[in-house]
Structure 1
Amino acid sequence: MSQQALSTAQPVPLQVIENAAISVRGIVKEFPVGDGFIRVLHEIDADIRPGELTYLVGESGSGKTTMISIIAGIMYPTEGSVRVFGTDIYDLSDNQLVQFRLDNIGFVFQQYNLLPTLTAAENAAVPLIAAGVPRAEAEDRGREMLEKLNIGDQADKLPRQLSGGQQQRVAISRALVHEPKLVVCDEPTAALDAMSGRRVMDLLREVALSEERAVIIVTHDNRVFDLADRILQMEDGRITHDGKEMPDGH
C-alpha cells in the first residue's frame, strides 16, 4: 500500500535541452515503510546542460539528496531512466555501472567519507589509484589539486588532524582529481567560511565551464546562490522552479 502525503507542490514543465549532459525521465523513488511504501520522488523529468553550474535547492526532506544519488548512479530508482553524456546508466550491469562511476563521476559527500588511515594527498588520489594510475603519479596529482584548494600544506596529514573545512576540501579534491564528466556535490560549502566557500564554488565553476562536463550542486548556502547558472528548486519530491535565480520569497 502506498503511503504518500498530499502535496500542493506543482512541478514546472520540462525544459527539453538538445544535447543535454544529463537527461532524467520519469524518475520515481519509493522506500518500504511497514507493509507499504512511501514515494519520495514523483516522476521527475529534467535536462541538465553541459558547461553550466546547476544548483538543486529546497527544504530538508524535499528529495534533493535522493535525486542526486540517483543521477550519480549510487541509488537505483524505482522507475525511470537517467542518461549521463549519452549512456543510460541503469541499463548497465552492476559491474559496468561501478566502472562508469569510476571513470565519469565525481561525488562530494556531505559527510566527506575520507579514509582515516590515508593522508590528505592519498585520499585525494583514490579515484586515480582505483583507475590504475601508478600510485606516485596519482599522489602527485592529488597534491596538485589540494594546492588549487589552498590546502597543499596539509597534504601529509591524516583526516583526524584536519579541521572540518579542510576535510571538505580534501573530499572536493578527490571528486575533481580524475577530471570526471559529471561532478555531483552535496552541500560542498557547509563546513566552510564565506571566503573558502566562494573559492570552492569558483573552482567548481571553472570545472563546469566545459562542453564536456556538468556540475550539479545541492546547497542551502545563499551566500553562493549568485554563482549559479541555473537553480532547480524541489518541493515534496517534485521540481517546482527552474530559473537563473531563486523565486520571490525564497
Structure 2
Amino acid sequence: MSDLKTAITLHKIVKEFSTGSQTIRVLHGIDAEIQSGELTYLVGESGSGKTTMISIIAGILYPTSGSVSVFGQDIYSLSDDDLVRFRLQNIGFIFQQYNLIPTLTAAENAAVPLVAAGMGRDQAVKKGEAMLDNLNIADQARKLPRQLSGGQQQRVAIARALVHEPRLVVCDEPTAALDAKSGRRVMDLLREVALAADRTVIIVTHDNRIFDLADRILMMEDGRITHDGKTLPDH
C-alpha cells in the first residue's frame, strides 16, 4: 500500500519490573513504527515481552523510559485522566481471557466502552446489539457470559473492542482457545470489521495457522525486536 501512514512510534522503550531487591528488564530500548491500514502480528516465545509491549502501546502500562506516539499523540505525556479519555476514544483491547463482566448481558458487555465515554445506557446497548449483529451473534445479545460458548464470548469481546470505532485495535492471543476453523473465522472478522485505511490492528499470537493473514510480522526475543517482515524467517 502506498498510502500507509505511521500510526504508532515507539522510541527507546524500556520496561523494568522490581521484585524485592531485584530489577528485571523486560523491554530493552525498543524502536519501532507501525502503520495504519495494516494487520501487524507480534510473535515470539512466552516471556519475550509481547504482552508488555502491547500493553504499553495501548496506554495500559507505563514504560520505565522512552516515548510512545499514537496517532501523533505522545500518550505518556498526558495526565492520567487525559490518557483514560484518549484510550476510550482511540483504542480497543481484546484480552486473551475475554474479561467479560459476569453480571452483564452480551449486549451490555459490548456497550461498556460507550457507557464509560458518557453515552446513555439505552443508546449504548443498542449500539452493542448492532455490533453483535455484525459478528453474527445477535441472538445471544440478552444472555450472560456463563450462558455463552467460548467462541461466542470471544465475539462479545471483539464487539466490545470495536463498538466505539477505535482507530487502534490491540489483541492478545485472540485465537488461542479456538479450533482452527473458529480461529480463522475470528481473524477474517478482524480483517473485515476492524481493518481500514485509517485503522491499525496489532495482534499478539503464537498461532502459526493464521500467520499468512498478516501484513507484517514483528518477532520478539528477550525484550527486543529481532525480525520485521511480511513472513517469519525460513517462511
Q: Which interval holds the TM-score relative to the shorter structure?
A: over 0.9
Deviates more, 1:222-231 or 1:145-154: 145-154
**C-alpha distance in 2, partners of 1:76/1:151?**
35
Equivalent in 193, 217, 221 of residue 231 of structure 1? 217
1:164 Cα offset (Å): 1.9
Letter in 2 for 1:48: I
Aligned residue identity for 1:241: H
Taking the aligned partners of 1:76 and 1:141, their CA distance within structure 2 comes to 31
Contact in 2 for aligned 1:121/1:156 (Cα 8 Å): yes
Which whole-Å deviations, capped at 9, do the CAs of 1:73-108 have from their partners, x for residues lacking one?
000000100000000000000110011001110001
Q: How does 1:1-250 map to 2 (within 5 A)?
A: 19-248=5-234
Q: Distance in 2 between matches of 1:230 and 1:19?
A: 14
1:162: Cα distance to partner?
Answer: 1.3
Name the % identity.
77
Moved more, 187-196 or 78-87: 187-196
Q: Which amino acid aligns with 2:65?
A: E
Summarize deviations over 1:51-84 as a string: whole Å, max 9, x none: 0000000010000000000000000000100000
CA RMSD of aligned residues (A): 1.5
Answer with 138-147 or 177-186: which moved more: 138-147
Q: Secondary structure of the residue that 1:217 maps to in structure 2? A: strand
SS of 1:21's equivalent in the other structure is strand
Residue 31 of structure 1 aligns to which amino acid in structure 2?
Answer: F
- TM-score, with structure 1 as normaliser: 0.89
Structure 1: runs of 5 or more not aligned:
1-16
Once residues 203 and 56 of structure 1 are traced to their aligned partners in structure 2, the CA distance between those partners, rounded to angstroms, is 19
- Distance in 1, matches of 2:134 and 2:194, equals 16
- The 2-side partners of 1:148 and 1:230 are apart by 26
Matched-pair contact (CA < 8 Å) for 1:51–1:208: no
Counterpart contact for 1:104–1:182, Cα < 8 Å: yes
Name which of structure 1's ranges 76-85 and 126-135 shifts more when overlaid on structure 2: 126-135
1:129-149 CA-to-partner distances (Å, cap 9, x unmatched) read: 111222222112211211222
TM normalised by structure 2 equals: 0.95
Cα distance in 2 for partners of 1:161, 1:51 equals 35
Partner of residue 11, structure 1: none
Alpha carbons 1:184, 1:216 under 8 Å: kept? yes
* Residues 4 and 197, structure 2, Cα contact 8 Å, conserved in 1: no
- The gaps in structure 2 that reach 5 residues or longer are none
Kindly state the Cα deviation for residue 207 of structure 1 after the two structures are TM-superposed.
4.2
**Post-superposition shift, 1:213?**
1.1
Amino acid at match of 1:104: N
Following TM superposition, the consecutive aligned residue runs of length 4 or more in structure 1 with deviations greater than 4 angstroms are none
2: CA distance, partners of 1:198 / 1:134: 35
Q: Which amino acid aligns with 2:168?
A: L
**Do the aligned partners of residues 18 and 78 (structure 1) sit closer, same or farther apart at CA in structure 2, a change above 3 Å counting?**
farther
Conserved? CA contact 1:55–1:219, under 8 Å:
yes
> What amino acid does structure 1 have at the position aligned with 2:27?
L
CA-to-aligned-CA distance 1:109-154 (integer Å, 9 cap, x gap): 1111111110000000111111122222211221121122222211
